[in-house]
């Protein structure tokens, strides 16, 4: 970044700001990526001075012990305000005008919505009413050639997932956004798209000639995607209880992972080429009838979830979901995708496994074949890498077959894992590159699918199944895959 910029984080005292955005900005600063002049403003309800706010951020993340923190923290400011009251936004304008004056030009402004999603519409409304959405204040408008140019160039808006609560609210939010901003200004964030391992899926699939010929229903038996976290909801009870894992993780991260497997080769490695391919894959997921949800979707809640701070006493919010999905394209016709996400699982595993059709028995029937044959596993985290399970003859005089793994570890191959997802996405926003951000049509398709499921759940009479923390979820999740003669890996 050579030109100055300002990032306003709505929800500046929240979990996302504290644990992801600020540490990522700090890391970019240390790498020299933020240039000479930048300003970070946290916007939230609680009263803080600039110094108190910067202190709080440094304390929470323990970044203050880093020798560069003090220098970075000089660029941190705070604006107290309520999301639904204009006064805070007007005070924010005054602050921004001071920065513009200091620099002597219109500074690029990024408004980052890192609040719970039910605040989005109010924030958009006030960005519009205060004219913050239009960029620099009148005193500096002359700096740009025309208003049109100033709008596109000077203001960007980033919106965190979940983008809405269902199809209708997502559409409403999108409509509101597009009334206020041009599409080029809008960055719909799903940070999984910024992960090195997820970005690598396109390179892996389309830059290696050996995988594409077998990447279809002639060779693939089924696909498993696991998003398991050993942690619970931590201190995010209030937020999580209002959304559940379906909206928090499945509608976005899980479906994006699915899209990287199911998508066709993009027409070009360009913003729209890649977004088109992703959107088409999500659009092709077979819809689920709300009346038949229980046949292909399982939900669960970990034991004692309702005792967590911020969670309603009788909450029916799911902390686990497993889904059996199909992608109706010629490539994947009739290949089941089993995808699951859960909190308080036995360990953290976020990975995609492509399980190939087993043909070992054609030649080796009487010698015994391993139950599962070739599996290609893409480990998103931890221990980022790719593993191919192959069948091999076990050493010895007798013929006996076993399975062995060919392993590629990012860490071993490349030393470090590149940059963090939020660092990558923030850099892309500053550069104006939207490739790794959601377009509204892909969100609409994913919400169409998920809204049907949510509707089905609403009409279910039985309470949510409970699972023991530290297990792989409710018993029904096992049945979901085992009734098809397969097993979770």
Binder to ligand BG6 among 7, 229, 260, 317 (CB under 6 A)?
Answer: 229
Q: Which of residues 368-427 bind ligand BG6 (CB under 6 A)?
A: 381
CA–CA separation, 193 vs 436, rounded Å? 6
Which residue's Cβ lies closest to ligand BG6? 248
Q: Which is nearer to ligand BG6, 38 or 302 (CB)?
A: 302
Contact 467, 304 (CB under 8 A): no
- Give yes or no for a cis peptide into 382 (omega within 30° of 0): yes
Contact pattern for ligand BG6 over residues 201 through 220, marking x by CB under 6 A: --------------------
CA–CA separation, 405 vs 31, rounded Å? 36
Shortest Cβ 406–ligand BG6 spacing (Å): 25
Binder to ligand BG6 among 134, 248, 276, 351 (CB under 6 A)?
Answer: 248
Q: Which is nearer to ligand BG6, 276 or 420 (CB)?
A: 420
Shortest Cβ 310–ligand BG6 spacing (Å): 14
Our CA angle for 236, 241, 245, nearest 5°, is 90
Shortest Cβ 381–ligand BG6 spacing (Å): 6
- Which of 204, 211, 10 has its CA nearest to residue 119? 10
Q: Which is nearer to ligand BG6, 18 or 108 (CB)?
A: 18
State the DSSP H helix or E strand holding residue 76, giving kind and residue range, or none if neither: strand 76-80
466: tokens are 């409970």
Site membership for ligand BG6, residue 442 (CB under 6 A): no
Q: Which is nearer to ligand BG6, 381 or 438 (CB)?
A: 381
CA–CA separation, 80 vs 41, rounded Å? 10
CA–CA separation, 339 vs 258, rounded Å? 8
Binder to ligand BG6 among 8, 41, 157, 249 (CB under 6 A)?
Answer: 249
Concatenating the DSSP letter of every residue in 393-454 gives EPSSSS--EEEEEEEEEHHHHHSS--S-HHHHHHHHHHHT--TTSB-HHHHHHHHHHHHHHH
Number of residues that bind ligand BG6 (CB under 6 A): 4
Residue 253 a catalytic site member: yes
Shortest Cβ 195–ligand BG6 spacing (Å): 7
Q: Which is nearer to ligand BG6, 158 or 327 (CB)?
A: 158
CA–CA separation, 226 vs 205, rounded Å? 19
Chain CA centroid to CA 302, Å: 22
State the DSSP H helix or E strand holding residue 345, giving kind and residue range, or none if neither: none
470: tokens are 């530290």
Shortest Cβ 318–ligand BG6 spacing (Å): 12
Q: Which is nearer to ligand BG6, 252 or 451 (CB)?
A: 252
Q: Which is nearer to ligand BG6, 54 or 421 (CB)?
A: 421
Q: Which is nearer to ligand BG6, 261 or 421 (CB)?
A: 421
How would you list the strands of the sheet with 155-160, edge to edge? 76-80, 38-44, 5-10, 108-113, 155-160, 186-189
Backbone phi and psi for residue 321, each to the nearest 5 degrees, phi listed first? -145, 140
**Which residues, at least 6 apart from 390, have a Cβ–Cβ distance to it below 8 Å?**
374, 403, 404, 405, 406
State the CB neighbour count (10 A cutoff) for residue 46.
12
CA–CA separation, 392 vs 375, rounded Å? 13
Residue from 64, 253, 411, 417 carrying the catalytic annotation: 253
Contact 43, 9 (CB under 8 A): yes
Shortest Cβ 242–ligand BG6 spacing (Å): 12
Contact 390, 361 (CB under 8 A): no
Site membership for ligand BG6, residue 256 (CB under 6 A): no
230: tokens are 């050993």
Contact pattern for ligand BG6 over residues 126 through 155, marking x by CB under 6 A: ------------------------------
Shortest Cβ 15–ligand BG6 spacing (Å): 9
Site membership for ligand BG6, residue 480 (CB under 6 A): no
Q: Which is nearer to ligand BG6, 223 or 350 (CB)?
A: 350
Shortest Cβ 323–ligand BG6 spacing (Å): 17
Shortest Cβ 336–ligand BG6 spacing (Å): 25
Show which residues are catalytic: 253
Question: What residues make contact with ligand BG6 under the rule CB under 6 A?
Answer: 229, 248-249, 381
């Amino acid at each position: 970044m050579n030109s100055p910029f300002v990032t306003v984080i709505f929800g500046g005292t929240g979990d996302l700001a504290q644990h992801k955005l600020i540490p990522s900005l700090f890391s970019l600063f240390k790498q020299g990526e933020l240039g000479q002049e930048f300003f970070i403003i946290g916007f939230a309800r609680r009263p803080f001075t600039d110094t108190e706010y910067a202190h709080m951020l440094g304390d929470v993340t323990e970044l203050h012990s880093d020798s560069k923190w003090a220098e970075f923290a000089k660029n941190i400011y705070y604006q107290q305000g309520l999301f639904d009251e204009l006064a805070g936004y007007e005070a924010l304008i005054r602050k921004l005008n001071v920065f513009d004056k200091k620099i002597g030009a219109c500074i690029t402004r990024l408004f980052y919505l890192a609040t719970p999603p039910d605040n989005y519409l109010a924030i958009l409304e006030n960005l519009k009413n205060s004219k913050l959405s239009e960029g620099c204040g009148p005193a500096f408008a002359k700096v740009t050639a025309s208003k049109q140019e100033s709008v596109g160039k000077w203001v960007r808006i980033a919106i965190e997932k979940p983008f809405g609560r269902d199809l209708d609210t997502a559409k409403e939010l999108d409509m509101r956004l597009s009334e206020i901003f041009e599409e080029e200004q809008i960055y719909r964030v799903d940070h999984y798209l910024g992960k090195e391992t997820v970005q690598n899926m396109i390179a892996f699939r389309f830059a290696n000639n050996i995988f594409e010929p077998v990447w279809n229903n002639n060779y693939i038996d089924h696909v498993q995607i696991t998003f398991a976290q050993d942690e619970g909801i931590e201190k995010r009870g209030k937020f999580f209880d209002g959304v559940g894992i379906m909206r928090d993780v499945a509608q976005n991260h899980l479906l994006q992972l699915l899209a990287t497997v199911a998508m066709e080769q993009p027409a070009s490695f360009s913003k729209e080429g890649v977004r088109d391919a992703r959107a088409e894959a999500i659009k092709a997921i077979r819809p689920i009838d709300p009346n038949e949800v229980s046949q292909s979707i399982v939900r669960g809640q970990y034991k004692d979830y309702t005792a967590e701070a911020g969670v309603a006493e009788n909450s029916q919010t799911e902390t686990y979901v497993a889904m059996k999905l199909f992608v109706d394209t010629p490539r994947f016709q009739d290949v089941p995708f089993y995808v699951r996400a859960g909190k308080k699982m036995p360990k953290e595993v976020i990975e995609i496994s492509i399980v190939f059709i087993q043909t070992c028995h054609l030649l080796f029937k009487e010698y015994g074949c391993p139950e599962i044959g070739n599996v290609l596993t893409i480990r998103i985290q931890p221990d980022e890498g790719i593993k191919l399970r192959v069948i091999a003859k076990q050493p010895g005089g007798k013929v006996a077959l076993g399975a062995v793994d060919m392993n590629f570890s990012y860490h071993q191959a490349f030393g470090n894992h590149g940059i963090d997802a939020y660092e990558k996405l923030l850099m892309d926003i500053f550069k104006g590159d939207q490739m790794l951000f959601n377009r509204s049509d892909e969100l609409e398709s994913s919400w169409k699918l998920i809204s049907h499921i949510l509707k089905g759940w609403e009409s279910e009479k039985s309470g949510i199944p409970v699972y023991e923390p530290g297990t792989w979820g409710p018993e029904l999740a096992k049945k979901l895959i085992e009734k098809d003669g397969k097993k979770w890996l």
